Amino acid sequence: MNCCLKYFLVLIISLTNASIISAQFGDPIYIQTFGEGNIDPNTIGPQLNSSIKTDFTYSNALCPPAGSYTLVRRMNIKGCFNGEWIDLSQDHSPSDYGYFMLINNTTEPGNMLVYQDTTSKKNLCSSSIYNFSVAIINTDTPSNDCLFPNFPSFELRLEDDAGNLLNKDTTQGIQYAEPPPTGYKFSTYGFNFTIPDNVNRIIIKITLLHEGYNCGEDFAIDDVVITPYGPKAQVNFINEDQSTIVKSVCYKENKTISMSGSIGAYYLNPALQWQQSSDSGLTWTDIPGATGNIYSSIFSKPDTFLFRLSGADISNINNPNCRVTSNNIKVEVNGPPKNFIITNNSPVCTGQDLQFNAEGGAGYIWNGPNNFYDNIQLPHIPNVVLEDSGTYYVQVTSLGGCTANTTTHVKINGVDVIAGPDTSICNGNSVMLHASAGTSYSWSPIEGLSNNTIQNPKANPTLTTTYIVNATSADGCSDTAKATIKVVGNIPVKANFSNTQFLCKPSDTATFTDISTGDISSWQWNFGNGQTSTVQKHCG
């Protein structure tokens, strides 16, 4: 793991200076994370550097033999020693694939050196407090056969270059690990210390105090760290909720962003120094002149910046190895949105749903054919019609408010089917139905139709009926429409009459008698000689 980026630890320790109410760390002056592997959980890390001393022998096995160590990112994936070890799935400061040092202990009595290294030469501050810590976990599973386990305990020792003791402490036995809901976790052990004048290198020794073991003796260590230690420092954006850790702006606005910071009481003459990082916290640089509680800057260049506040006694403020550092806050200066993706699921048929998808922006405004408008990320149009085809215009907005415009084209296939007419007919009569253009048709129900597979069938229903036509276009899309034929009269009307067959004299009268059937409400006679009548029976 990256030594600086991954060191975000929470330590529960006793303070050596009771006047520090809330503790904070600085950038480590020494850190050993044992490196990082890859996606393959079977990967074994390399042997420790030759400058590091240990009484355990390196093994490149996932299940190292007794008296040896290996570097792994997770353990017991091979069911080591019939499941004797816990299933430890991650290291102390979880990264993607961080290693830890796994030790298969022996049952022989006598102390054993687990880890010894010397820090590089650094300008350290004799008046400052430092913290030394190491993460340790017992890797054995509890055993019912082990009534009196001897848990491993350690001496944590720091010396100067000449071997003079700076400080030491002894842990209690590291007992079986308890599996919380999220998996087994390392515990952190350590102490605070100060150093004499003119000490610029520190010898680190972690020693296993060996009394002979029968069970519960195996363990792993991770994150050996020495770091400045002092009062808590805190930064926030001004005029923002204290939970806000990211502030986004658009470069075009040339916006001024202000931040405030503070450091707890401890230093006799406290001094502050704001710092900035433009590489995600890999390196930090002091901001010239930014030594007050408030820092403001105009942001007009697209980039991402991290800010924090460091603090120390004024006599040590120019030495980064003596400072504590605050939490980080981020300023994202957005340029015009880019690398966004705007898509849709067309071509679709009429009557189906048209769906849009947008990625890479913080906000979207959509405009398009048929008076379409929306302002969400994933708009859709149900039951589309041909008029929904065309170009849709999208304004993409970044978190900081910068905008970019793009388009996406939509094609709707098929026909918008129209059927008709909606009309009324007398029982026994017929009407011609009609559907708009397609390549094939299917009308239902088929009762009363002359042909249910043509565009314009004749309909002669005996009851009021709604006919539904499904028309298919050349591209395979289909749509439906309907026409309702209302049938009037329960009995079909059939016109008929009888009349006088012969007349002897010109003065004789002819009689015409209606013998029509059906529900008849009116009559209309026409005799062909200019005479008409509206009565049921006519004489003339």
CATH code, domain carrying 317? 2.60.40.10
In a domain, 83, yes or no: yes
Is 286 strand, coil or helix? strand
Residues 318 and 401 in one domain: no
In a domain, 128, yes or no: yes
Domain boundary among 468, 488, 508: 488
Cα gap 395→346, rounded to integer Å: 20
Is 507 strand, coil or helix? coil
- Domain limits for position 459: 419-488
Taking the CB of residue 93, how many other CB atoms lie within 10 A of it? 20
Residues 432 and 404 in one domain: no
Tokens matching residue 381? 């149009």
CB-facing half-sphere around the CA of 130: CA atoms within 13 A: 26
Residues 269 and 391 in one domain: no
Beta strands 30-32 and 537-539, pairing class: unpaired
Q: What is the pLDDT along the chain (540 residues), one digit of tens a residue?
A: 333 333 333 343 333 333 444 578 999 999 999 999 999 999 999 999 999 999 999 999 999 999 999 999 999 888 888 888 999 999 998 777 999 999 999 877 789 999 999 999 999 998 889 999 999 999 999 877 777 778 899 999 999 989 999 999 999 999 999 887 878 999 999 999 999 998 999 999 999 998 766 788 899 999 999 999 999 999 999 999 989 999 999 999 999 999 999 999 989 999 999 999 999 999 999 999 999 999 999 999 999 999 999 999 999 999 999 999 999 999 999 999 999 999 999 999 988 999 999 999 999 999 999 999 999 999 999 999 889 999 999 999 999 999 999 999 999 998 778 899 999 998 888 999 999 878 899 999 999 999 999 999 999 998 999 999 998 888 888 888 999 999 887 666 778 877 777 778 777 777 778 777 777 778 888 877 777 787 776 665
In a domain, 148, yes or no: yes
Contact 33, 99 (CB under 8 A): yes
Cα gap 352→349, rounded to integer Å: 6
In a domain, 16, yes or no: no
Residues 471 and 484 in one domain: yes
In a domain, 9, yes or no: no
How many domains is the chain built from?
A: 5
Taking the CB of residue 126, how many other CB atoms lie within 10 A of it? 12
CB-facing half-sphere around the CA of 344: CA atoms within 13 A: 25
Cα gap 9→26, rounded to integer Å: 12
Q: Which ranges of 284-412 does DSSP label H, i.e. alpha helix?
A: none
Domain boundary among 449, 466, 488: 488
Whether the full predicted model's pTM is greater than 0.75, yes or no, is: no
